[in-house]
Chain A
Amino acid sequence: QSTLAQPPSASGSPGQSVTISCTGTKIDIVSWYQHHPGKAPKLILYELSQVFKIPSGVPERFSGSKSGNTASLTISGLQTEDEADYYCTSNIGRDRWVFGTGTKITVL
């Protein structure tokens, strides 16, 4: 069964950048989600023709990239409200989706 591995945690001080990875044996079209516990998850990046796009209303300090079977999320200019859990997801073919294991971002 396909899995997407993420580091369990990452941290940075306000204003710094933090990058988290998402690695799978099989990775296709990737999207990234921010989840504050107790709230609805939020789409922060989606992939269109190998380029990551930001949905309307999401700050531009979020960016993404992908190389081979690894996708990455970078938060530039970290802010206190960015402290949350982050998940990647990818479709596996046209009939399955899989979420990454999740990364807790702590703002120091």
Chain B
Amino acid sequence: QVQLVESGGGVVQRGGSLRISCAASGITGRIAGTHWVRQAPGKGLEWVAFLRYDGSDKYYEDSVRGRFTMSRDSSKDTVYLEMNSLGAADTAVYFCAKDVGYYALWVWGQGTQVTVSS
């Protein structure tokens, strides 16, 4: 069974940095890109970033481009999101999701809370 587990969330001061992780199991052998999606308090889902399965392409939403960086450790089946220059607008639950085709997000994790304090 495919499972995604996010970790690394927490409280960080405005302007600070944080790295969150997405560990995958059960998806080994399938070609899957990874998305990060966030949901701010009381708001809807917002696409944040995408990393192609082989690491060849990385795409970012305009408001995080230049501040957030996706990377992967294929030996651990883990994808990371390094977040810098964090602001209040980045406070959200961050979900990772796997894309195994058709531009859809097939499998989701439970999310990790990131809170930026002032």
A: residues with CB less than 8 A from B are: 1, 28-29, 31, 33, 35, 39-43, 46-48, 55, 85, 87, 89-91, 95-102
Contacts and interface: CB of A to CB of B under 8 A. Distances in A.
Contact of B47 (A48, A85, A97, A102): A97
7 contacts: A39-B110, A41-B37, A89-B45, A95-B59, A99-B37, A99-B46, A102-B45
Contacts of B111: 40
A43 B107 CA distance: 7
A89 B48 CA distance: 13
Main DSSP-derived SS at the A contact region: strand
Contacts of B44: 85, 87, 99-102
The 6 A-B residue pairs whose C-beta atoms are closest, nearest first, are A102-B44, A31-B104, A46-B104, A40-B108, A97-B47, A91-B103
**Most chain A CB inside 10 Å of its own CB: which residue of B35, B57, B59:** B59
Contacts of B106: 43, 46, 55
Interface of B: 35, 37, 44-47, 50, 57, 59, 61-62, 95, 97, 102-111
Contacts of A35: 45
**Most chain A CB inside 10 Å of its own CB: which residue of B95, B105, B110, B111:** B105
A41 B110 contact: no
A39 B108 CA distance: 10
Given A43-B104, A87-B45, 8 more contacts: A31-B104, A41-B37, A41-B95, A42-B108, A43-B106, A47-B102, A98-B47, A99-B47
Nearest to A102: B44
Given A41-B95, A41-B108, A96-B61, A29 B45 contact: no
A103 B95 CA distance: 19
Nearest to B49: A97
Nearest to A49: B102
Contacts of B97: 41
A97 B35 contact: yes
A101 B50 CA distance: 20
A97 B103 contact: yes
B109 A40 contact: yes
